[in-house]
Amino acid sequence: MNCRLIGCTAFLPLLFVNLAAAQTLSSDVPYVENGHKRHVLDIYTPEKGADKSLPVMFWIHGGGWQAGDKSDVALKPKVLTERGFVFVSTNYRLLPDVEMDVLTRDVATSLGWVHKNIAKYGGDPNRIFVGGHSAGAQLAALLCIDDRYLKEQGVSFDVLKGCVPVDGDTYDIPKIIMTAEHRQTLYGGKMFTFGHRQKFGNDPEKHVDFSAVTHVAKEKGIPPFLLLYFSGNPDTGAQARRLEAVLKESGIPAASYGKSDSNHSRLNNDLGQPDDPATQELFKFLDGLVSGM
């Protein structure tokens, strides 16, 4: 167990750690019995939320599927627990130690554990939102659209109430591969040795299968989407609008919002700042869905 409270000078051997008396952190909770060291998640609950049934935000970190950690959450646990959510941030095994299908199933297994166990922490297993940044955005979108992964965990799309992918560029993987490699060819850059083509299996059929846009269809129970992106990056903007359009064509509520005064990392880290326009879009999205439950 570890303490990440500012000013904390030692690790505390406690399951629950109070964070500024506003939230409680259950750290390094295993979601696979006797699993890998990265088969763990963190659960943030409002200080007095353990006896309630609160909506849950399940968060997937970024890092190019090769790096990153569940602690990379910035302000999100604080502001969302203040708004009456339980916030869960998960780790998963990474490339190249495992392949993309294994990595994706780790995240699905984690979400399956949350569905089965979050009531013990004051969360409502039937009101789960899924979000993620960068690589985590691709994973969030895929899990909320391609129902095969959650079905393996006995989880129905009925429990998913919304999806918030943040600045992902791989909702349509063949298009981003084509875009990136064409750019390298035009401007004389060295071709990638471990780019998206290789990460997703170096097989065009896998590129299609790992693309969220491939699996969008009517009457699957796909939840509403809010796609946030940095408008200064043409790739993440184009990918967000592409997924938004495909979702809307199938009658699934979807919106995208591009923030201009930002960058890839700041867009994610600023979520929760009071004057941040992307935060305002996020809260409007969540509030509208929670109030209607």
DSSP secondary structure, 106-122, as one string: HHHHHHHHHHHHGGGGT
Amino acid at 121: Y
The conformation of residue 214, written as its DSSP 8-state character, comes to G
Domain boundaries, the chain: 16-172+211-291
End-to-end C-alpha distance for the chain, whole angstroms: 35
Instruction: State residue 146's pLDDT score.
Output: 98
Note the helical H segments in 168-274.
173-187, 196-199, 204-209, 234-249, 264-269
| C-beta neighbour count of 55 within 10 angstroms | 21
Q: What is the pLDDT of residues 77-109, one digit of tens each?
A: 999 999 999 999 999 999 999 999 999 999 999
Pairing of the two strands 86-90 and 23-30: unpaired
Q: What is the pLDDT of residues 172-212, one digit of tens each?
A: 999 999 999 999 999 988 889 999 999 999 999 999 999 99
CB contact at 8 A, 216 and 145? yes
pLDDT classification of 237: cutoffs 50, 70, 90: very high
Instruction: State residue 222's pLDDT score.
Output: 98
Cα–Cα distance for residue pair 28/245, rounded to 1 Å: 38
Instruction: Look up the CATH superfamily of 16-172+211-291.
Output: Alpha/Beta hydrolase fold, catalytic domain (3.40.50.1820)
Please tell me the least confidently modeled range out of 22-26, 71-75, 240-244, 261-265: 22-26
Cα–Cα distance for residue pair 149/103, rounded to 1 Å: 11
Instruction: State residue 5's pLDDT score.
Output: 31
**Is residue 292 pLDDT above 90, yes or no?**
no
**Is residue 151 pLDDT above 90, yes or no?**
yes
Cα–Cα distance for residue pair 125/144, rounded to 1 Å: 15
Instruction: State residue 7's pLDDT score.
Output: 30
pLDDT classification of 17: cutoffs 50, 70, 90: very low
Instruction: State residue 172's pLDDT score.
Output: 98
216-230 average pLDDT score: 98
Cα–Cα distance for residue pair 130/111, rounded to 1 Å: 9
pLDDT > 90 fraction of the chain, expressed in percent and rounded: 87
- The pTM score is 0.92
CB contact at 8 A, 78 and 11? no
pLDDT classification of 13: cutoffs 50, 70, 90: very low
pLDDT classification of 288: cutoffs 50, 70, 90: very high
Instruction: State residue 56's pLDDT score.
Output: 98
120-139 average pLDDT score: 98
Q: What is the pLDDT of residues 35-73, one digit of tens each?
A: 999 999 999 999 875 568 999 999 999 999 999 999 999
DSSP secondary structure, 11-67, as one string: ----SEEEETTTEEEEEEEESSTT--TT-EEEEEEETT-TTS-EEEEEEE--STTTS
Cα–Cα distance for residue pair 119/45, rounded to 1 Å: 11
Instruction: State residue 89's pLDDT score.
Output: 99
